């Protein structure tokens, strides 16, 4: 008898894991930081560091409304973690740039999350860690590929034809 999970079972297990993981990390960050820093803020800071982007580009990348992205951006500006600079190619737009304080906060919070997760992962057996070493990069690659493909069937078909 084959004890391997089907892809459906794997998806169900991921659905159980992800909210629990997020809640634990969020609670840990709240416990160690005087100010509330979220994983989303850290993720956005790293996105802005990689590419100077506008709020509308950030909304598209995160697949959220422009209003949601603008609220997030305004909060990061108020904390001094990013600044808005005029876009030299479009005077109506502003580019978002990370500040040294924002970069330091992103790196500190990222390291805190990694240290926290590592404190649990030490309990994995060598075999479990080896399985994760194969599974997690593969899953990340699949998710990354699907994030670049737009939602409409026509755009998905066009992207497949271009490959």
Per-residue pLDDT at 141: 93
Q: Using an 8 Å Cβ cutoff, are 122 and 113 in contact?
A: no
pLDDT in tens, 111-163: 999 999 999 999 999 999 999 999 999 999 998 888 764 444 444 444 455 44
CATH architecture of the domain formed by 7-123: Orthogonal Bundle (1.10)
Q: Of 43, 45, 55, nearest to 87 (Cα)?
A: 55
Sort strands 82-87 and 90-98 into parallel, antiparallel or unpaired.
Answer: antiparallel
pLDDT in tens, 59-94: 998 889 999 999 999 999 999 999 999 988 888 899
Write down the domain spans for the chain.
Answer: 7-123, 125-163
The percentage of residues in the chain with a pLDDT greater than 70, rounded to a whole number, is 88
Q: Round the average pLDDT of the chain to a whole number and report it.
A: 87
């Amino acid at each position: 008898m084959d004890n391997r999970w089907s892809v459906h079972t794997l998806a169900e297990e991921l659905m159980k894991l992800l909210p629990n993981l997020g809640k634990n990390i969020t609670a840990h960050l709240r416990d160690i930081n005087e100010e509330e820093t979220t994983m989303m803020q850290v993720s956005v800071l790293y996105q802005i560091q990689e590419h100077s982007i506008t709020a509308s580009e950030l909304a598209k990348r995160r697949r959220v409304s422009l209003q949601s992205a603008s609220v997030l951006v305004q909060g990061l500006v108020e904390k001094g973690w990013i600044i808005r600079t005029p876009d030299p190619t479009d005077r109506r737009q502003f580019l978002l740039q990370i500040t040294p304080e924002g970069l330091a906060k992103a790196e500190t919070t990222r390291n805190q999350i990694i240290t926290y997760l590592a404190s649990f992962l030490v309990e994995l057996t060598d075999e479990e860690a080896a399985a994760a070493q194969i599974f997690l990069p593969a899953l990340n690659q699949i998710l990354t590929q699907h994030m670049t493909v737009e939602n409409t069937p026509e755009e998905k078909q066009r992207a497949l034809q271009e490959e």
